[in-house]
Amino acid sequence: MGDLHPSTTPNGDNEQKPIPITILTGFLGAGKTTLILNLLPQLRALNPNYTLALLKNEFGDLAVDSQLASSSSISSVKELLNGCICCNLVGSLSSALKEMRETARPDRVIIETSGSAFPATLAMEVNRLVRETGGREWVLDGVVSVIDVENWGGYEDVSFTARLQARYTDLVVLNKWEGVGERRVEEVVDRLGDLEVETARVRSDRGRVEVGVLLGLDSSLAAGLVEGEGGNGEGGHEHDHGHRNEVEVLSVELKGTQKGKGVDAGKLMGLLGKAPKDEVYRIKAVLTVGGEGEVKNSDEDVPVTKSQSGRYILNWAFGRWTFTAMGGGVKEHESSEESVLRMTVVLARYESTKWKRKLEAGGLLELEGDERGELVVRKIN
């Protein structure tokens, strides 16, 4: 799995070895962030001083997962908004990694891609940075692809990128398989076999994979990729112009004039419970729940930790959701701090116009009490 101890030279100087980079990809809601959050305690158990940095991007203009990760004591988190890290944001990768190296000096960086990103392009960019620095600063450890077994059949046929993600990877993690039965797992494995590649795979334990399996892959596939490979009919020109149109994104903001007011929890819970997962792929939000309201997770056996500030992070994917109390010591990102609710809704193609009208019609996202508030819904992709 690699060295879990801070790198030193023989004479004792604290000089960093190349920092390993793991690229973590997978379609929307596959469970990538959960995998990372379950990885951190394992690393800390092996070395209490181990530092993990997370660089991720998301379609939309709201930083949600980076705040969730910060609440879990990941040493450095940077989120790139409003685009795809493997397309129009690839140029930001170098500066973001440089900033992380200089400020956080992490033992490892995980690049978590948006659900529709193409891993080969990222691997090529990381390999370019490795060559530019003579291998002294970075090394590509591997590409891990997470597959949501329960819902993969709902998107793999329509998603060009979902299929490509499984081809350009060193390890496939089969996630959310526990409730679907062995036959469904075998169907997914058979479809992976149709890609005609020999890729190692492992089943997660409810979003947890042993650290020695997930890290230290010493990538033999992605580490050799250079610019110009992985395209020509398998992601090149088609990828640049096609995969970003597989989803549509709405940015939602709800504001009020009375301090301390929260969302109408009952109406929000109604939206979460009724949103059809063949139309709505993902809902992420930062919101305030006032004293009059109560929110619950989709799994009611898992209670919601009470937030002293009333501020919560919402993560919804394919009909399941969780509310996480915003940590008191976490500085809220500027993308959400002034609003009662800031939400990103990721939809299937051709669904954004209908859902924009639904939200604007009222009755789904409103303030508690008599104040109507100001609701703004914008299509941003």
- Whole-angstrom Cα distance, residue 328 to residue 309? 8
CA-atom Rg of the chain in angstroms: 21
**Residue 246, SS3 per DSSP:** helix
End-to-end CA distance of the chain: 39
Give, in order, the Cα–Cα distances in Å from 137 to each of 6, 12, 20, 101, 123: 14, 19, 9, 9, 15
- Whole-angstrom Cα distance, residue 123 to residue 86? 9
More confident call, 216 vs 70: 216
The number of beta carbons lying within 10 Å of the beta carbon of residue 316 is 24
Q: What pTM was computed for the model? A: 0.68
Average pLDDT value for residue range 75-84: 57
Residue type present at position 169: T
Per-residue pLDDT tens digits for 305-326? 888 888 898 989 888 899 988 8
Per-residue pLDDT tens digits for 248-266? 889 999 998 777 789 999 9
Helix (H) or strand (E) holding 140: strand 138-148
- Whole-angstrom Cα distance, residue 127 to residue 123? 6
Q: For all residues of the chain together, what is the average pLDDT?
A: 77
Torsion sign over Cα 207, 213, 216, 222: negative
Does the structure show a pLDDT above 90 at 241?
no
Average pLDDT value for residue range 149-160: 64
Residues 6+ apart with CB under 8 A from 316: 272, 275, 280, 282, 283, 284
- Percent of the chain at pLDDT exceeding 90: 22
Confidence of residue 85 (pLDDT cuts 50, 70, 90): very low
Query: Buried (b) or exposed (e) across 348-381, using 16+ Cβ within 10 A?
Result: beebbeebbeebeeeebbbbbeeeebebebeebb
Extract the tokens encoding 186. Answer: 């075998």
Torsion of CA 276, 278, 279, 284, to 10 degrees: 70
Per-residue pLDDT at 58: 61
Per-residue pLDDT at 273: 95
Residues 6+ apart with CB under 8 A from 48: none
The length of the chain in residues reads: 381
Average pLDDT value for residue range 125-131: 84
- Whole-angstrom Cα distance, residue 31 to residue 176? 8
Torsion of CA 76, 144, 335, 339, to 10 degrees: -110
Give the range with max mean pLDDT: 70-84, 172-186, 189-203, 352-366.
352-366
Does the structure show a pLDDT above 50 at 240?
no
Average pLDDT value for residue range 66-72: 57
Per-residue pLDDT at 76: 61
Extract the tokens encoding 276. Answer: 């059809």
Extract the tokens encoding 4. Answer: 């879990």
The sheet with strand 76-81 has its strands ordered as 76-81, 52-58, 108-112, 19-26, 138-148, 171-175, 200-203
- Percent of the chain at pLDDT exceeding 70: 70
DSSP bridge partners of 282: 317, 346
Average pLDDT value for residue range 324-344: 78
Per-residue pLDDT tens digits for 28-55? 778 888 898 888 888 888 888 888 888 8
Q: Worst-scoring range by mean pLDDT, 32-41, 279-288, 323-332?
A: 323-332
DSSP 25-91: EESTTSSHHHHHHHHHHHHHHH-TT--EEEEEEESSS---HHHHHHHTT-SEEEEEESS-TTTTTHH
Confidence of residue 219 (pLDDT cuts 50, 70, 90): very low
* DSSP code of residue 333: P
Residue whose token pair is 């992601």: 235
